[in-house]
Amino acid sequence: MEKILRSFIVFEGLDGAGTTTQIRNLARYYEFNRREYYLTAEPTDNPIGQLVRKVLQKKIQTTPEALALLYAADRHDHIYNESHGIMRMSEEGKIVISDRYFYSSIAYQSVECDPDFVLAINRFPLPEVIIFVDTPVDVCMERIEKRGGEKELFDRSSFLSKVRDNYLSAFSSLPQGVRLITIDGSMAPEEVESAIRAELSSLSL
Ligand code: TYD
């Protein structure tokens, strides 16, 4: 089994699930309480992550497998990069919070690629906690529509339904030591926030 990184919290959910808002709130809470934390996200802002964004914006066309490999390459750098990698931040004793991690690849890329291929290229250290903001697909779609702008590659309701099924199946067999917190994302943002706070406090996080 891959190593579990202590105090590594990842947020997962469908596009429009509201994870970004919740992460911002959590960071504010840690700030207020003077906890050392490192806030990060995938795809990253580093060169490989930027390449991923170009594929999502349909500026670069490639195969689903090449995109899966790009996500994994971006992730490898995200974890192991000597100057800004998660490993390093974690070793420094910081609480690391990531908006998405390899569970996103398992859920999203497995819709179009062989799930075994996606698993094979995603052997990474495990988080201590996964916060799954489980928001119904129709609520997510409404929020995506409201945001406006160009639709990205994965903003379709039939696609998101499959992604949700993949998340649920990945989360049904997590290794021991990885804690899953599922929060009902259809609640008001403040309720989601306090549910997350309560769960994390019980883990001293
Ligand atoms: P994200 O930045 O969370 O979305 P937004 O731009 O709306 O804030 O993620 C971008 C998209 O990439 C999103 O549709 C989810 C998808 N994704 C994958 O398909 N696989 C992955 O491994 C990751 C990290 C994201």
pLDDT in tens, 9-24: 999 999 999 999 999 9
* Token pair 């995506």 in the structure block, residue: 144
Q: Whose CA is nearest to atom 17 of ligand 1?
A: 104
Say if residue 155's pLDDT is above 80. no
Question: Strand, coil or helix: what is 99?
Answer: strand
Q: Give 153's pLDDT tier (boundaries 50, 70, 90).
A: confident
Q: Specify the length of the chain in residues.
A: 205
**Mean pLDDT for all residues in the chain:** 96
Verify whether ligand 1 is closer than 6 Å to residue 73 (CB atom).
Answer: no
Question: Strand, coil or helix: what is 69?
Answer: helix
Per DSSP (E only), the strands in the chain are 4-12, 37-41, 95-99, 126-134, 179-184
The lowest-confidence range among 1-5, 62-66, 88-92, 150-154 is 150-154
Query: Prior bond to 43 cis, omega within 30?
Result: yes
Mutation probe of ligand 1 site: the residue of 105, 108, 131, 164 with most atoms within 8 A of C-beta: 108
Determine the average pLDDT of the residues in 78-103: 96
Alpha carbon distance 160, 158 (integer Å):
6
Strands 95-99 and 37-41: parallel
Ligand 1 centroid to residue 74 C-alpha, Å: 12
pTM of the model: 0.97
Ligand 1 centroid to residue 15 C-alpha, Å: 7
Per DSSP (E only), the strands in 60-195 are 95-99, 126-134, 179-184
Q: Whose CA is nearest to atom 12 of ligand 1?
A: 43
Could you give the domains of the chain? Answer: 4-41+95-202 (3.40.50.300)
Closest atom of ligand 1 to 19 CA is 3
Structural tokens at position 101: 């991690």
**H or E segment to which residue 19 belongs:** helix 19-32
pLDDT of res. 149: 83
Q: Give 185's pLDDT tier (boundaries 50, 70, 90).
A: very high
Verify whether ligand 1 is closer than 6 Å to residue 108 (CB atom).
Answer: yes
Q: Are 110 and 168 within 8 A, CB to CB? A: no
Verify whether ligand 1 is closer than 6 Å to residue 117 (CB atom).
Answer: no
Q: Phi, psi at residue 183, to the nearest 5°?
A: -120, 135
